[in-house]
Amino acid sequence: MTAKPEDPLSHLSGYLLRRASSAALAGLNGRLEPLGLRHADVAMLMLIESRAGVTQSEAGRVLDIQRANMVAFVARLESRDLIRRRQVDGRSQALELTAAGRMLLKRARRVVSEHEAALLSKVPERLRPMVLPVLTALWQGG
Amino acid sequence: MTAKPEDPLSHLSGYLLRRASSAALAGLNGRLEPLGLRHADVAMLMLIESRAGVTQSEAGRVLDIQRANMVAFVARLESRDLIRRRQVDGRSQALELTAAGRMLLKRARRVVSEHEAALLSKVPERLRPMVLPVLTALWQGG
DNA sequence: TATTGTTATACTCTATAACTATA
DNA sequence: TATAGTTATAGAGTATAACAATA
């Protein structure tokens, strides 16, 4: 017996994915606003931290951001003195966090943790251990 | 013992949600392309079908589309003769499917079903019954 | 030849403010 | 006074094509 939904979309996992994702994104962006960051900024900072010296193109591949769109993105973070570019060879730029970037990331990570906790708190306790496995499975190249 | 991920983001449900959602959306839009539809079009057609006579504003509230953005959206579907507007009172417009809309929706629904099956097929069988409950729980107003 | 960073550009989606006419 | 539809507009986010410099 499933409850009858108000709309014919609530039984579609794709629709639920989209709505849950956009709601979560909006929530996270709201929490990050005081820090002057957006969710993508934090993803980038976290990636650079865990892979110091990652290349601009590499980062784009991991985060699924087009090379062309990375330019303005990286430039913005650099202009705020959150990251720094170091020439690796004639064409590649290694990305690193600045001290200010590390400090801001520290605060951002707390915000992300709060956000994660808020997300998981919506899920009944018995389903909570399934959240990461389910989402990980759903995310697989298409 | 969790496996060590390549990036520090894969343990964040919010990040997984976003990536899974955008991958799924892209997949669905690809499947719908031969029909000349996008995912939002199908959502709208399905909603109108299940609530014949729904108002433009009501539909926007259900689908989380701004009133202002509904105008061009509805106009496009109407210009393709997929939906029809009927004046309810001096200001409200009831939306209904045309015969062509119903026929196209029939085909779209098959595509959506294939897409749903493809999505679920990625999830290990034992987790599959958790997909809708988990996603439904994660989607709750923010 | 393939890759990196870059510019330019365009398209989709989304958000806001303001107007009108109706309820 | 609140709501429905509308217009105009701006901002994200994303996608593609092309180019120069380098590997």
Give the tens place of pLDDT for each residue, A14-43: 999 999 999 999 999 999 999 999 999 999
Partner residue opposite B139 with nearest CB, options A16, A120, A137: A16
**Tens digits of residue pLDDT in B54-112:** 999 999 999 999 999 999 999 999 999 999 999 999 999 999 999 999 999 999 999 99
Cα separations (Å) of B21 from A33, A38, A80, A120?
A: 23, 18, 30, 17
d(CA A43, CA A60): 11
- Which residues of chain A does B123 touch, with a Cβ-Cβ cutoff of 8 Å? 134, 137-138
Q: Is the Cβ–Cβ distance between A62 and B6 less than 8 Å? A: yes
| Token pair belonging to B96 | 């209904």
CB atoms within 10 A of CB A129: 11
Does this model's pTM top 0.75? My answer is: yes
- Which residues of chain A does B120 touch, with a Cβ-Cβ cutoff of 8 Å? 13
What is the nearest CA distance from A3 to chain B, expressed in angstroms?
A: 12
pLDDT at B42 > cutoff 90: yes
Output the pLDDT for position B102: 98
